[in-house]
Amino acid sequence: MIEFAQPAALWTSLAIGLPLLAHMAYRRVTEKFYFPSLRFIRPSQIPRTGKRRPSDIPLLLLRILLFLIISALLADPYWKSETLPIVENQRDEVFLAIDLSPSMAGWNGLEEAKEKALAIIKEEKGKVGLVTFGHSTLEKIDIGQENLSSKIENLTHDWTRGNAQVMLDRVSSMFTENATSRKLIILSDFQQSDWQTAYTNLDELGISYELVKVGQTNAMEGRRANNISIMEARAVPAGPDKIRIWSVVRNWDDVNKTIDVELIAGEKVKASESVSISPLGSAQVQFVLKEGDFSEAVLRLAQSDEFGLDNERVVWLKAPPARRFGFWMPELEDDETDEEKSFLKTAVASAGDNGWNRWELDQDQADGLRLGDDQLNVEILMVLAVGRWFEEEQLGKPLKDFLNKGGVVLTTPGEPFSSSVSVLKSNDLLEYNFVRVAGGAARTRNPFRIGALPEDSKLADVFAGKSARDLYLSAIHKFGILKAGADTGNTEVPLRDREGRPLVLVKNFDEGGKFVFLPFRMNTGWTDLPLRNSFLPLLMELTQGKESQQTSRAWPILEPGEDLVGNQGHFRAVEPGAYRYENQWIEVVLSPAECTPATLSLNEISESFGGDITGSKVHPQDQSKSEEENNPLWMWFAIAAAILLTIEMIWSRPNSTPSPQTDPIHA
C-alpha cells in the first residue's frame, strides 16, 4: 500500500481550484466578419444563459490530475510492504560469561558456575558461546564449537584481581550482525570489589541478560561467612643473628574466631601460635628464627575455611636490597676531588650495616643517569666540584628530573667558587648569591666554627652530649659566603657558623627530592669534619633525615599482573610465591581485595546495566515477526508529472488564426 512520509504536504492538493477558476472565468472571443451593409441581416433575440460552466473539460481534467500528482510528489510517497526476515545466516545467539577472578575459588563458586553452565548448554542445544574474564577477557569461544563442554569442565581460577568492566566493554562485539536475538548469561559471585565500578547499558545495546549468582555458601545479607586471611607478612631483624617474622591475620566474620598460625621453613613446621581474633578485627602474630638457617618461610593457617587462597603467605628471610649511591665528577680529577670522594664513599657505606640496612656504591647506575637513563635506581647522587664541566655536559635537566622523582643530591663547589654558584643558579638549583670565600686559599690560625643548633632543629636531636661537643669543635678552614636572593622559600639553612653565615643549604622539592649544597669541600684542605666522629651522622641526617634512616627495608612485593622493571627486561608476576629475578628477591601476594566476602545483590548489578529488575532474568524482545520494507515512489510520480505537464503545454498552445480580410464581403 502507498503511504506518505510527509502527509502534511497533501494540503497543497487544494490548488486544484486554480484550474477550475481559470476555466470558469474563460470566455471565447467571437470572430469578426466584415459586411458592407446590415440590411440583409435579420435581427434576433439573444437567448439567456443559465449557470456558467467550465469550457474545455478534457484539458481541465488534465490540469487537475497534474496538480494532484505534484501534491503527492511533495508528500514523499513510498510503497509499504511486509516481508519475512531472511532466515539464512541468522540465529539466536547466547553467550556465557564466566567469572574466573580469584574470589570464585572460594565458597564453591567456580564449581557451581561450571554445573550451571553445562546445564544451560544442554538446554540451548548448541547455540551457546563462551567468554571467560578476570582482570581481562581471558578466552572467547564462538557459538557452535564442539569442545565447549570440555572447556568449561577444565576451567580454573585466575590469580589476577578481577575487573568485570573489561568484559562489559567488549560485550557488543562478541555477537554477530546476523543475530536475531542477543543474550548474555553472566555466572559470577558478583564480589563487591570486582563489580562495584562496573557499568554498561545493555538495553541500549539490544542485549538481554540473565544474572546467575554462584558461590553463596554461608551467605547472609550480601556477606559470605567463614573466612580468615593472612593480610600482611614481613621479615625484620630482631637482634644479633635473629630474624622476626611478623604477620597480620584478619577475621572477616562478625563472631570471635580462634586460629592456629604455623611457621613453615625447610618444609617443616618450626613454630605455631594460637591467636584469638575479634569480630571483623585483626591480630598480630610474631615468630623468631635464627638468621641464615633458611632463605624463605611460609606462614599458614592450620584450619581451613571457605576461601583457601589467602590462608598462606611466603616471605623471604634474606636481607633486603641495599640502597645505592653514586658520584658525578669532572673527567680530570684532582687530588682534592679524589680525597673528597674517598671520604664520602666511606661515610655513606658505613652508615648502614651488613644486613638489613646497607648502602653500596653503584657507579654504573650513576653513569647511566648522567647519560639520561631515567629508569635507574640511585637514592643519593653526589656531584663533586661543580663547575663549567657541569654546564658543558648539560647535566642540569637530568639532575632536575632525578630530583623531581624524589632523589637526593649532594653538591660541593669547584674552582673558582663563583663559577659553581653561577652554574647552580642558571639551572634553578640555588637562590643564593656569592659574596666571597672566607679563609682564602690558606688555613687560618683561627678556623671557623659551627654555630649552636636551634633547640627545635632536627639536628639538635641527633647531636647531643659528646657528639654535639665534637661537632662544635670541628674546624672549617675556608668556605664560600652566600647571601640570600629574592626567592628562597623552599630553601632551609640547617647549619650556620657562629656569625650566622650558611654552612649548608637544603632545597626541598614538592615531589620529595632534596638538593643539598655545601659551600665547602669535604676534604682536609677545607675542613676537619671527615676526621671527626660527628661527620657520619651529620652527612646522613642532611641527606636522608632521621625518619628515613629508621624506615625498614624490604624486598619488592607485587600482586599478580604487576611488572617489575629490571636491567635486562621485565618480571611479570603471575602466581603468589617467592621468586628471584636478576639481583632481586620478589614476593608475589594475592590482592587483598579478593579476600573480601562482601557481594552485590542482583538488583544492584541490574542498575549498573541500565535498568531495575525484580528478578535476575530479562526476556529478549520477539524478533521473529515479519519485517516491513519501504520502497520510495517519488521518482515515478516525478516522471508522471513531467509527462502531464508536457501534454498540457502542447494542448493549450494557441492556434494560428488567419489574418483578417481587408476586402469587404458582398452579400
Q: What is the pLDDT of residues 224-246, one digit of tens each?
A: 999 999 999 988 888 778 899 99
SS3 content of the chain, % helix, strand, coil (to 5): 25, 30, 45
Total number of residues shown for the chain: 667
Measured distance CA(458)–CA(454) in Å, rounded: 9
Whichever domain contains 164, its CATH number is 3.40.50.410
Q: In which band, very low, low, confident or very high, does the pLDDT at 161 lie, cut at 50, 70 and 90?
A: very high
Mean pLDDT of the chain: 83
Q: In which band, very low, low, confident or very high, does the pLDDT at 35 lie, cut at 50, 70 and 90?
A: low
Full 3-state SS string of 488-549: CCCEEEEEEECCCCEEEEEEECCCCCEEEECCCCCCCCCECHHHCCCHHHHHHHHHCCHHHH
Query: Any bridge partners for residue 436, and if so which?
Result: 481
Q: In which band, very low, low, confident or very high, does the pLDDT at 621 lie, cut at 50, 70 and 90?
A: very low
Same domain? For 353 and 458 the reply is: yes
Residue 326 pLDDT > 90: yes
Mean pLDDT for the stretch of residues 472-497: 87
Residue 617 pLDDT > 90: no
Tell whether 298 is covered by a domain: yes
Mean pLDDT for the stretch of residues 242-261: 93
Q: What angle do CA 446, 450, 455 make, to 5 degrees?
A: 150
Q: What are phi and psi of 299, to 5 degrees?
A: -100, 130
Same domain? For 109 and 194 the reply is: yes
Measured distance CA(405)–CA(93) in Å, rounded: 52
Same domain? For 298 and 361 the reply is: no
Q: In which band, very low, low, confident or very high, does the pLDDT at 456 lie, cut at 50, 70 and 90?
A: confident
Q: Which range has the worst mean pLDDT, 158-162, 401-405, 537-541?
A: 537-541
Q: What are phi and psi of 249, to 5 degrees?
A: -110, 135
Higher pLDDT among residues 638 and 342, named by residue: 342
Higher pLDDT among residues 35 and 1, named by residue: 1
Which residues fall within 8 angstroms of residue 485, CB to CB, at 6 or more apart?
425, 431, 432, 433
Which residues fall within 8 angstroms of residue 545, CB to CB, at 6 or more apart?
458
Same domain? For 309 and 455 the reply is: no
Res 623: pLDDT = 41
Q: Nearest to residue 133, comparing CAs of 180, 178, 97?
A: 97
Mean pLDDT for the stretch of residues 25-33: 63
Rounded to 10°, the helix 17-25/57-74 angle is 160
Same domain? For 306 and 200 the reply is: no
Query: Any bridge partners for residue 413, and if so which?
Result: 386
Sign of the Cα torsion 151, 157, 161, 163 reads positive
Same domain? For 78 and 97 the reply is: no
Give the position of cell 530479562: 618
Q: Record the cell numbers describing residue 518, joined without a space.
A: 655545601
Tell whether 667 is covered by a domain: no
Same domain? For 113 and 79 the reply is: no
Res 2: pLDDT = 76
Tell whether 498 is covered by a domain: yes
Which residues fall within 8 angstroms of residue 475, CB to CB, at 6 or more apart?
447, 448, 449, 527, 528
Tell whether 413 is covered by a domain: yes
Tell whether 657 is covered by a domain: no
Res 504: pLDDT = 93
Same domain? For 14 and 58 the reply is: yes
Measured distance CA(421)–CA(120) in Å, rounded: 78
Supply the DSSP string of 9-40, one letter for each residue: GGGGGGGGHHHHHHHHH--PPPPP---S-STT
What's the structural domain count of the chain? 4
Tell whether 148 is covered by a domain: yes
Beta strands in 168-265 (DSSP E): 179-188, 208-213, 219-220, 223-224, 228-237, 242-251, 257-265
Cα atoms found within 13 Å of the Cα of residue 39, Cβ hemisphere only: 3
Q: Say if CB 376 and CB 365 are below 8 A apart.
A: yes
Residue 123 pLDDT > 70: yes
Q: Record the cell numbers describing residue 120, joined without a space.
A: 544451560
Measured distance CA(320)–CA(303) in Å, rounded: 31
Q: What is the pLDDT of residues 532-545, one digit of tens each?
A: 777 777 888 888 75
Residue 487 pLDDT > 90: no
C-alpha dihedral (427, 428, 430, 435), degrees to nearest 10: 70
Same domain? For 105 and 207 the reply is: yes
Whichever domain contains 282, its CATH number is 2.60.40.150
Sign of the Cα torsion 488, 489, 494, 500 reads positive
Res 440: pLDDT = 67
- Side-by-side strand order, sheet with 228-237: 228-237, 242-251, 282-290
Q: What percent of the chain clears pLDDT 70, i.e. is strictly above it? A: 86
Q: Say if CB 158 and CB 134 are below 8 A apart.
A: yes
Measured distance CA(631)–CA(159) in Å, rounded: 57
Res 159: pLDDT = 94
Res 30: pLDDT = 57
Same domain? For 362 and 453 the reply is: yes
Tell whether 558 is covered by a domain: no
Same domain? For 450 and 370 the reply is: yes
Same domain? For 354 and 247 the reply is: no
Q: What is the pLDDT of residues 172-227, one digit of tens each?
A: 888 888 788 889 999 999 999 999 989 999 888 889 999 999 998 888 878 899 99
Residue 382 pLDDT > 90: yes
Q: In which band, very low, low, confident or very high, does the pLDDT at 31 lie, cut at 50, 70 and 90?
A: low
Q: Nearest to residue 501, comparing CAs of 484, 521, 522?
A: 484
Cβ neighbours, 10 Å, residue 445: 4
Q: What is the pLDDT of residues 69-117, one digit of tens each?
A: 888 777 777 777 665 554 455 678 899 999 999 999 999 999 999 999 9
Whichever domain contains 354, its CATH number is 3.40.50.880
Q: Nearest to residue 59, comparing CAs of 31, 28, 22?
A: 22
Res 422: pLDDT = 93
Tell whether 387 is covered by a domain: yes
Residue 294 pLDDT > 50: yes
Higher pLDDT among residues 127 and 574, named by residue: 574
pTM above 0.75, yes or no: no
Rounded to 10°, the helix 363-370/396-404 angle is 120
Burial of 408 (0-12, 13-18, 19+ CB in 10 A): buried
Q: What are phi and psi of 557, to 5 degrees?
A: -120, 120
For 39, the domain range is 2-83+631-651
Res 79: pLDDT = 77
3-state class of 448 per DSSP? strand
Q: Which range has the worst mean pLDDT, 12-21, 220-229, 308-317?
A: 12-21
Measured distance CA(425)–CA(491) in Å, rounded: 13
Measured distance CA(663)–CA(68) in Å, rounded: 50
Q: Record the cell numbers describing residue 345, joined without a space.
A: 664513599
- The b-or-e profile of 225-245 (16+ CB within 10 A means b, else e) is bbbbbbbbbbbebbeeeebeb
